[in-house]
Amino acid sequence: MFEHRVQPAWAEVEEYLSAAVVHPGPELDRALRSAVDAGMPAIEVAPNAGKLLKLLVQLSGARRVLEIGTLAGFSTIWMAQGLPDDGQLITCEYLPLHAEVARKNVDAAGVGHKVDIRVGPALDTLPLLAGGESFDLVFIDADKQNDSNYLDWAIRLGRPGTVIILDNVIWEGAILDNSMDEVNAPGITAALDMLGQDPRLDATAIQTVGTKGWDGFAIARVV
């Protein structure tokens, strides 16, 4: 993964918006500190993006959420806060250490009763969810090589009307030149092609700038 280029004004504006509009609570600050203490990469969503996830959960009326890629549970907490008290969020995390940190964070945030953390490769976990109740919203933020596979599973585990959010779809512009990151960029561009061509989806993509550099997200509805 290459280093993101962040202009000072981008970070300052993001910090202003977080303080003026987003108001992340101490439970989210705790999650960020725990990730640093555990030596995790600083790749969690920005606070304004986390608040967007929470609002999307609420606006969609979601009761069941699937997350692919947990890390320290920062986005998990945001989305769980948007769920009703009897809602459920299943999140897939590859690394046991990350899952352990996330478990402590969601419990400390008071949303642990809504969160089920599944440890192991997501492509092993997702088939085990087939045949159960469909998910209302799916957030994908994991290894980019498998973005298309995760999208396919999101559709299969969803229903008409399910909302799918795919993070990191601009990747510093590497979608225009995959040689900028030959590991991750091809998976992202393949997923964007799928979002635009798969008849099961209706989608758009948005560019963003901020502390995570030049990036963006896609949002889709299962049709």
CA 148 → CA 91, 97, 109, 171, distances in Å? 18, 26, 32, 16
CATH number for the domain including 48? 3.40.50.150
Q: Report if residue 172 sits inside a domain.
A: yes
Partner residues linked to 214 by β-bridges: 209
Q: 103-125 burial, b if ≥16 CB within 10 A, otherwise e?
A: bebbebbebbebbebbbeebbeb
Q: Report if residue 197 sits inside a domain.
A: yes
SS3 content of the chain, % helix, strand, coil (to 5): 50, 20, 30
Q: Report if residue 11 sits inside a domain.
A: no
**Total of domains in the chain:** 1
Domain of residue 50, residue span: 44-222
DSSP, collapsed to helix, strand or coil, labels residue 119 as strand
Q: Report if residue 202 sits inside a domain.
A: yes
- pTM, full prediction: 0.96
pLDDT at 8: 87
Residue among 63, 143, 134 at smallest CA distance from 95: 143
Partner residues linked to 201 by β-bridges: 222
Q: Report if residue 102 sits inside a domain.
A: yes
What is the mean pLDDT for each group of 10 consecutive residues in the chain (223 residues)?
Answer: 78 96 95 91 93 98 98 97 98 97 97 98 98 97 98 98 98 96 97 98 97 96 98
The answer to whether the CB of 38 falls within 8 A of the CB of 72 is yes
CA 198 → CA 148, 152, 155, 202, distances in Å? 11, 10, 10, 8
Residue among 172, 216, 170, 164 at smallest CA distance from 195: 164
